[in-house]
Amino acid sequence: MHAVIQKAKRLVIKVGSSLVTNDGKGLDKDAISNWAAQIAQLRALGKEVVLVSSGAIAEGRQRLGFVQRPTEIHELQACAAVGQMGLVQMYETCFSAHQLGTAQILLTHADLADRERYLNARSTLLTLLRLGIVPVINENDTVVTDEIKFGDNDTLGALVANLIEADALIILTDQRGLFNADPRNDPNAEFVRHGQAGDVALEKMAGGAGSSLGRGGMLTKILAAKRAARSGTHTVIASGRELHVLLRLAQGEALGTELVSRMAPLTARKQWMADHLQTAGDLVLDDGAVKKLQAEGKSLLPIGVLEVRGDFSRGALVSCCDQSGRVVARGLVNYASKDADKIKRRASSEIATLLGFVEEAELIHRDNMVLL
């Protein structure tokens, strides 16, 4: 029995190109409709779902008449631009049949490497989930270059899981899961039902890319599970062609390969903040704010900040100090230094008046803070 998905509240579900496009024949409406129906039932169970979907380039390639996947970057971008139109329209139609709204999110590696854009993407996704929307994410292949591309949507799925601190990542593929050898060549290959994300032995088992449609293979899925585990996310790799696969996983059925994370959600993220050597600035707190942080586990509000030191941007890692200079916490700040200086000692309700906009009510949210 797999309990990972059964217990998970926030899910990232990744579906591959061969599934979305019926092995390159064009968008598979029946398959997409089926996933939409299952996700609607997951939402009814109280689970939040973000969908990472491949298929734009494969669909565009089919529409533009390319016999094989192009290798020239601008032809790939053209395929993505054409295919994305059909892909989004299909998801919107299928989810609306279940009274669920969808949102299109296109990301590049640069969006998640930049701390401010990382926070913007995170805030947008969490807001969409709060509003009951199913975000549909794809790599922004229309502008991607060799330097900024994710390389495959398995990696993108893991990065999104890190971004929103998902409880679980479900990678749906055209394979049953992981075997200890290639079952196409070795009749004695054994299926791997359970493992630990990051286990080097798993990487040795995984072979190369198995499909000409996408860029991923089993190895990218194993590496994606390893990456997702850094923020406490567990991963299941399962066949998207298995009947009612998402609902059966949600019921705890042992489908696919389950790769568990060693760390609880937020632990790895907060460990990174605690060990980070370079902080961009300091916030000096009054005694009341220090008590709220240490004794009550509250977020840091602007009203508790006496002084802002340093020149930093939104999303930077900053130290929170008491009036004697002792560092009591570190965290990712929601406002740039110039804006933080304007709102210090003021109530959160005044932020809009003082700045003309509101990023967040908190200067640092408790989920983005580690006490020292």
Tens digit of each residue's pLDDT (9 = 90 or more) over 314-355: 988 899 999 999 999 999 999 999 999 999 999 999 999 999
Please tell me whether residues 200 and 258 are part of one structural domain. yes
Residues 314, 188 share a domain: no
Of 265, 280, 312, which residue sits at a domain end? 265
Q: Provide the pLDDT for residue 110.
A: 76
Between 331 and 217, the higher pLDDT residue: 331
**Tokens at residue 261, please?**
């994370």
For residues 101, 216, 228, 300, the Cα torsion angle rounded to the nearest 10 degrees is: -50
Same domain, 234 and 171: yes
Tokens describing residue 184: 């196409």
Angle, in degrees to the nearest 10, between helices 56-64 and 73-96: 110
pLDDT score at 358 = 94
Least confident among 7-11, 50-54, 114-118, 235-239: 114-118
CA distance linking residue 220 with residue 206, whole number of Å: 9
Instruction: Give the CATH number for residue 286.
Output: 2.30.130.10
Output the pLDDT for position 215: 45
CA 75 to CA 83: how far, in whole Å? 12
Please write the tens of the pLDDT for every residue from 79-100: 989 999 999 999 999 999 999 9
Structural domain ending residue among the three candidates 237, 265, 293: 265
Residue 245 and residue 279 share a domain = no
Q: Which two tokens stand for residue 329?
A: 């916490």
Q: Are residues 73 and 90 in the same domain?
A: yes
Across the chain, what does the average pLDDT equal? Answer: 88
Average pLDDT on 105-113 reads: 82
Taking phi first (over 0 means left), then psi (-120 to 50 degrees means alpha), and beta for anything else, what does residue 293 get?
A: alpha
pLDDT above 60 for 66: yes
- Answer yes or no: do 68 and 108 share one domain: yes
Residue 281 has pLDDT above 90, yes or no: yes
- Is pLDDT larger for residue 354 or for residue 119? 354
Query: What integer pLDDT is reported at residue 290 of this predicted model?
Result: 96
For 132, residues 6+ apart whose C-beta sits below 8 A from its C-beta are: 43, 100, 101
Write down the pLDDT at residue 175. 86
Contacts of 171 (CB under 8 A, 6+ apart): 14, 16, 154, 157, 221, 224, 225, 235, 236, 237, 238
Both 246 and 357 in a single domain?
no
* Domain count of the fold of the chain: 2
Supply the range of the domain harboring residue 275. Answer: 270-371
For the cut 80, the answer to whether the pLDDT of residue 73 exceeds it is yes
Q: Is 319 in the same domain as 336?
A: yes
**365: pLDDT strictly greater than 60:** yes
CA distance linking residue 21 with residue 29, whole number of Å:
9
Residue-wise pLDDT tens digits, 179-215: 888 777 788 888 899 999 988 888 888 764 444 444 4
* Percent above pLDDT 90 for the chain: 57
Q: How far apart are CA 30 and CA 24, in angstroms?
A: 15
Identify whether residues 255 and 275 lie together within a single domain. no
- Considering 3-17, 26-40, 54-68, 217-231, the range whose residues carry the highest mean pLDDT is 26-40
108 in the same domain as 195: yes
User: Does pLDDT of 145 surpass 70?
Assistant: no
* Separation of alpha carbons 162 and 122, rounded Å: 10
Domain CATH number, residue 10: 3.40.1160.10
Kindly report, residue by residue over 151-178, the tens digit of the pLDDT: 678 989 998 998 898 999 999 998 899 8
Please report the pLDDT score of residue 268 as a whole number: 59
Same domain assignment for residues 274 and 261: no
The reply to whether 239 and 275 lie within a common domain is no
How confident is the model over 226-280, as pLDDT tens digits?
888 888 899 999 999 999 999 999 999 999 999 999 876 656 567 656 654 578 9
- pLDDT for position 209: 43
Among 226, 242, 265, give the residue marking a domain's end: 265
**And the tokens for 319?**
């130290």
Q: Which pLDDT score, from 0 to 100, does residue 1 have?
A: 61
SS3 of residue 318 by DSSP: strand
* Predicted local confidence at residue 48, as pLDDT: 97
- What's the distance, Cα to Cα, between the start and end of the chain in Å? 39
